[in-house]
Amino acid sequence: MKTVVQRVSRAFVEVDGDKVGRIGRGLLVLAAFKTGDDDGVLRWMAKKISTLRIFEDDDGKMNRELAEVDGGILVVSQFTLYGDCRKGKRPSFVESAPPDVAEERYARFVEILREETGCDVETGVFQAHMNVVLENDGPVTVVIEKESE
């Protein structure tokens, strides 16, 4: 599993002009899945994301977790994170899970985030053409990857 996590002041997703998910302060998580990603990988990623100390404390240092700032999470499925651009002009997506597997893993990951964090967790729409609008706070962006064991 691979994620791109962005600290945001606000973010939302539009599908066909309708806002389908939105958060204020929190984390925008772009998430990609491989076929072998199991619940252990999803739980590890959920814990890692929710406990990242990337929010500023009173001294301006990145010392606070999501729960400490009462933040939300917006999760958007992003299979293109596994796009391999090393050869040719078109990315190869052979590492990405097929759509049926990825959709199930995406839904499960969102469920785990809701269970584990207690935070407001919003989503995009799987396989829809989405406009993701965000205000990156910092900017702070990190990439997190976890291989199946």
Catalytically active residues, by annotation? 78-80
Picking from 32, 52, 43, 27, the residue whose alpha carbon sits closest to that of residue 116 is: 43
- The per-residue DSSP string of 8-68 comes to EEEEEEEETTEEEEEESSEEEEEEE--TT--HHHHHHHHHHHHT---EE-TTS-EEE-TGG
